[in-house]
Structure 1
């Protein structure tokens, strides 16, 4: 007997879809040639859905603690929100929008049996469920086109539309949602096999669209969840028949850099979550569209996920700052653009940073940045994904936070099992990461580079200025709410009432032990004249000490200080 379209079905769908994408991940990664041949579409889809599944489980746990059961609206809404928050890459961002489209229909009035979706009992059953799923799939397909700045046929967009068309044809005669889901799955499978004839880059490689493969796996899991029949049918990743354009392309040996992808293109992938109003996002789309390509902006209700490929990563982040508040910023360097370069760079750097300005600084230096939001440290899986996106045989990982040492170690261990040599540089602050990045030399031996970066970080004392949130005891005495705290090497050393004066005191204490270079990283709330006054203070009080200033944009502290 088919299962009802309810919260339990959504939960089952998440579990089955994760299993399916887990099985298919490496095969999908291997055929990833569009829009960038970076070999991570399967991984991005898996991680996006993993975030969605966690959100669904959290919804169930939350209701269980209250003695209730989640409804369909709760579950599908959590799935879409989790995907939006955790979306990875172009493919994951589109998947998040597809799930949001389904949510627009399935959560709008709960089920189609007359319930309102708010009391934990909503469910869509029988003919109503078939009709609800048909409309949800149609809305999902339309939503994916709305999210992409320049839709291209022969991609996941085409596969989503074919699935909706097949569901449309089946809905009239279907007696349950399972039959509609199965029809959508079969329609998607058929459309997927036609993609090499619709998109030249796929035809040359002799493979189907990677994002479309992921959608087929997702729809197969939905059909299994609703029918109760687990098929686990592998997704066909190659064209049914060799195409003329595919001559000379060794599909079996196909990787991200075999030259089957379109030559040229932007050098960076920029992704971030954005809190912004709808009208600001409209302007943002226009600006980002002029900066690069592969632009996908998804979300709504004040929260958006932005994905774009650009040459100027800093400009893409600045556009987000002008539109609202970007966070969880991830900048990945493609390795000089989409050209016939080696699939893996010899060595790369991955750095965790607290602000958009520092992320741009890392990108300019060729490093992959993982930007964190206050109170939301990255998980080891996020660092593993950043290491993968660096596309290097060797990676220097800069956690830049003592609290991340175990997380970084776990990520490094996982990456090593995948054949990547990783060194975790023990950076305890962003300014130590800047110092380590400054001496990074990929032409040196791995061990020599690790030692040099570790030495540079260790030779850099670090401090930060913060505002006390409440009265408390510190190493420097009792502070009151609103006091300015000067922390040196992690401990409160100075308590003051004025940011600039406290910063000067901190600098004097740090430089009393000597130093040749002061690094100032200004936070989002730093006064405009702060840097100039501190530079003048160092010049007047500490001869032969140079000062360099960066606009870090971090919200955790108005000022970070490094002394080398």
Structure 2
């Protein structure tokens, strides 16, 4: 798990500029590559500093760290993906094909449910395809938990994810008109191929990104040619009961968009409240913070301008 996250961190660092250049959905703020890199780095650093544990415990620890330090839509969804994958892996001493298929299935369910308005043609479609690809292969292997079967299951997941990334260009009008694929989807594809790479002991596939629209080095920075974005992205962690969390989600849906809410852990405090990571795009910080503070005490607050030309962001304000 640690080798996977370290390789994913290094790979995203190398690809962040091109991912940023095609980041035009849900807003053209040119930061998907940066946000994924920073979020994966938080997960890798937390796991590197931890005592060795089983596969599920290691992934859960990394997922919590990613959730607390998540940046942007893509980083938040990656942290949900990582935390959800940990659930079927609890207690497992090694990864195998059946566990991988179960983990990807859980991750795609949790990721879709974390968004108020999930959309096809995004990182969600790529994750769904990866889960389906892994399940299709695993179902033919009759529960084989060998390393050979794991590699075949990973191949199925990565191949399906690659096809889903190419398809994103035709699924959202904004991507179709700009002739690019979804940046978050490409980022997830790279992360999944990093897992395949560390399992098989080979480099990333050289042709993994060949033919993806907008991904050649010489292609223009599409994000910077899009209309200027207004508003801010607000992220925080807040402890709420499930009922209060549902109420806050409804209110944030009315105040802004790109609402993502996911529980950081499944452990409630004495009052029955769980820590939730909250993400929303709103016209101004007060729009979201007033609503959040009315139901809880937010911490680890991050406020970022949605404009790709913004020079200052604020983090850890409260």
- TM-score normalised over the length of structure 1: 0.51
Cα distance, 1:328–1:153 mapped onto 2, change above 3 Å: same
Alignment of 1:334-349 (within 5 A): 334-335=306-307, 344=309, 348=311
Q: Does 1:123 align with 2:91?
A: no
Deviations 1:295-320 (A, max 9, x none): 11122432221111111320201222
Higher relative contact order (CA 8 A, sep 6+): 2
Alignment match of 1:178 (pick from 137, 151, 163) = 151
Contact 1:202–1:208, Cα closer than 8 Å, also in 2:
yes
Contact 2:240–2:276, Cα closer than 8 Å, also in 1:
yes
Alignment match of 1:14 (pick from 5, 22, 40) = 5
5+ long unaligned stretches in structure 1:
1-9, 64-68, 112-121, 242-250, 336-342, 351-367, 374-564
Contact 2:20–2:33, Cα closer than 8 Å, also in 1:
yes
CA distance in 2, matches of 1:53, 1:19: 10
CA distance in 2, matches of 1:133, 1:90: 24
Q: Which residue of structure 2 lines up, in the alignment, with residue 164 of structure 1?
A: 131
Q: Which residue of structure 2 lines up, in the alignment, with residue 51 of structure 1?
A: 42
CA distance in 2, matches of 1:282, 1:264: 32
Q: Does 1:98 align with 2:81?
A: yes
Whichever structure has more helix as a proportion of its residues is 2
Cα distance, 1:285 vs. partner? 0.4
CA distance in 2, matches of 1:171, 1:142: 18
Alignment match of 1:370 (pick from 308, 315, 318) = 315
Alignment match of 2:305 (pick from 316, 321, 333) = 333
Q: Which residue of structure 1 lines up, in the alignment, with residue 271 of structure 2?
A: none
Cα distance, 1:234 vs. partner? 6.2
Q: Which residue of structure 2 lines up, in the alignment, with residue 134 of structure 1?
A: 101
Alignment match of 2:193 (pick from 214, 220, 240) = 220
Contact 2:104–2:131, Cα closer than 8 Å, also in 1:
yes
Cα distance, 1:278 vs. partner? 2.0
Larger Rg: 1
Q: Which residue of structure 1 lines up, in the alignment, with residue 241 of structure 2?
A: 277
1:325 partner SS:
coil
Alignment of 1:521-532 (within 5 A): none
Cα distance, 1:57 vs. partner? 1.1
- Stretch of structure 1 that moved more, 154-163 or 311-320: 311-320
Deviations 1:197-223 (A, max 9, x none): 101111111110000011000100111
Q: Does 1:315 align with 2:279?
A: no
Q: Which residue of structure 1 lines up, in the alignment, with residue 163 of structure 2?
A: 190
CA distance in 2, matches of 1:96, 1:159: 15
Q: Which residue of structure 2 lines up, in the alignment, with residue 507 of structure 1?
A: none
Cα distance, 1:296–1:318 mapped onto 2, change above 3 Å: same
1:38 partner SS:
coil
Deviations 1:92-132 (A, max 9, x none): 0011111121012112xx12xxxxxxxxxx334xxxx2111
Q: Which residue of structure 1 lines up, in the alignment, with residue 116 of structure 2?
A: 149
Alignment match of 2:251 (pick from 268, 284, 287) = 287
CA distance in 2, matches of 1:160, 1:172: 18
CA distance in 2, matches of 1:273, 1:42: 23
Contact 1:288–1:316, Cα closer than 8 Å, also in 2:
yes
Cα distance, 1:330 vs. partner? 1.6
Q: Does 1:78 align with 2:69?
A: no
Whichever structure has more strand as a proportion of its residues is 1
Contact 2:234–2:302, Cα closer than 8 Å, also in 1:
yes
Alignment of 1:189-208 (within 5 A): 189-208=162-181
CA distance in 1, matches of 2:210, 2:179: 9
Cα distance, 1:240 vs. partner? 5.6
The alignment of Structure 1 onto Structure 2 pairs a total of residues equal to 301
Deviations 1:446-467 (A, max 9, x none): xxxxxxxxxxxxxxxxxxxxxx
